[in-house]
Amino acid sequence: MKTKGQKILLLITLLTFMMGYSQVKVSGRVTFKNKGISEVNVTLKDTYDGTTTDAQGNFSFETSEKGERKIVFTHPKYEETEKSVNIENQDITISADLKEQINEIDAVVVSAGSIEASDKKRATALLSPIDIYTTAGADGQITSALTYLPGVQKVGGTEGLFIRGGTGTESKIFMDGSLINNYFSNSVPGIAGRDQFNTSLFKGNIFSSGGYSALYGQALSGVLMLESVDLPDQTSYNIGVSPIFLNAGFQKLGEQKNYSYGASAGYSLLSLMQNVFHFNTDFIDAPQGLNSDFNFRFKTKSGGFFKYYGMYNSNKMGVKTESLEPGYDFELVRLKGSSSYHNLSFRQKFGKYLLNVGGSYSYNRSDLNFSTETNDIESNRSRLLTDGNYINFKAVLERKINRISAVRGGFELNNTDEKLNFGEVQKHYKDLISAAFVETDLGFSNALSAKIGLRAEHSSYLGQNNIAPRFAIAYRLAENWTTSLAYGLFYQNPESKYINGPANLDFQKSQHYVLQIQRSSEGRSLRLEAFYKKYDQLVKTYNILPGKQQSQQVQTALNNDGYGFAKGLELFWKDKKTFKDIDYWLTYSYLDSKRDFLNYPVSLKPEFAAEHTFSAVVKKFIPEWKFGANLSYTYAKGRPYYDIASEFNDGKAVNYTRHEGRLKDYNALNLSFNYLPNIGKKGAKAFPIFVLSITNILGSKNVYGYNFSVDGSRSSAIVPPVNTFVFVGAFISFGVDKTEDAINNNL
pLDDT in tens, 724-734: 999 888 888 87
Please report the pLDDT score of residue 124 as a whole number: 37
Please report the pLDDT score of residue 22 as a whole number: 62
Q: Is the model more confident about 187 or about 500? A: 187
Residues forming beta bridges with residue 451, ordered by sequence position: 441, 472
Residues forming beta bridges with residue 69, ordered by sequence position: 85
- Beta-carbon contacts of residue 171 (< 8 Å; ≥ 6 apart): 160, 161, 162, 163, 219, 221, 222, 223, 224
- Which band of pLDDT confidence, cut at 50, 70 and 90, is reported for residue 46? confident
Among 18-27, 361-370, 495-504, 680-689, which range has the highest average pLDDT?
Answer: 361-370
Q: How far apart are CA 208 and CA 114, in angstroms?
A: 4
pLDDT tens column, 204-227 = 778 888 889 999 999 999 999 888
The radius of gyration of the chain from alpha carbons, rounded to an integer in Å, stands at 32
Model-level pTM?
Answer: 0.83
pLDDT tens column, 636-653 = 999 999 999 888 777 677
- Which band of pLDDT confidence, cut at 50, 70 and 90, is reported for residue 684? low
Please report the pLDDT score of residue 114 as a whole number: 67
How many Cα atoms within 13 Å fall on the side-chain side of residue 500? 21
Amino acid at 323: S
Please report the pLDDT score of residue 424 as a whole number: 75
Which whole number is the average pLDDT over 534-542? 94
Amino acid at 734: F
- Which band of pLDDT confidence, cut at 50, 70 and 90, is reported for residue 79? confident
Q: How far apart are CA 200 and CA 180, in angstroms?
A: 17
* Spacing of C-alpha 246 from chain mean position: 28
Residues forming beta bridges with residue 21, ordered by sequence position: none
pLDDT tens column, 317-337 = 999 999 998 889 999 999 999
What is the percent of the chain where pLDDT is above 70?
90
- Which band of pLDDT confidence, cut at 50, 70 and 90, is reported for residue 680? low
Average pLDDT of the chain is 86
- Which band of pLDDT confidence, cut at 50, 70 and 90, is reported for residue 576? confident
Q: Is the model more confident about 523 or about 97? A: 97
Q: How far apart are CA 659 and CA 672, in angstroms?
A: 40
Do 514 and 485 meet the contact criterion of CB atoms below 8 Å apart? yes
Which whole number is the average pLDDT over 230-242? 88
Residues forming beta bridges with residue 422, ordered by sequence position: 384, 425
Examine the pLDDT at 571 and tell me if it is beyond 90: yes
pLDDT tens column, 460-487 = 999 999 999 999 998 988 888 999 999 9
Which whole number is the average pLDDT over 268-280? 87
What φ, ψ does residue 25 adopt, rounded to 5°? -90, 130
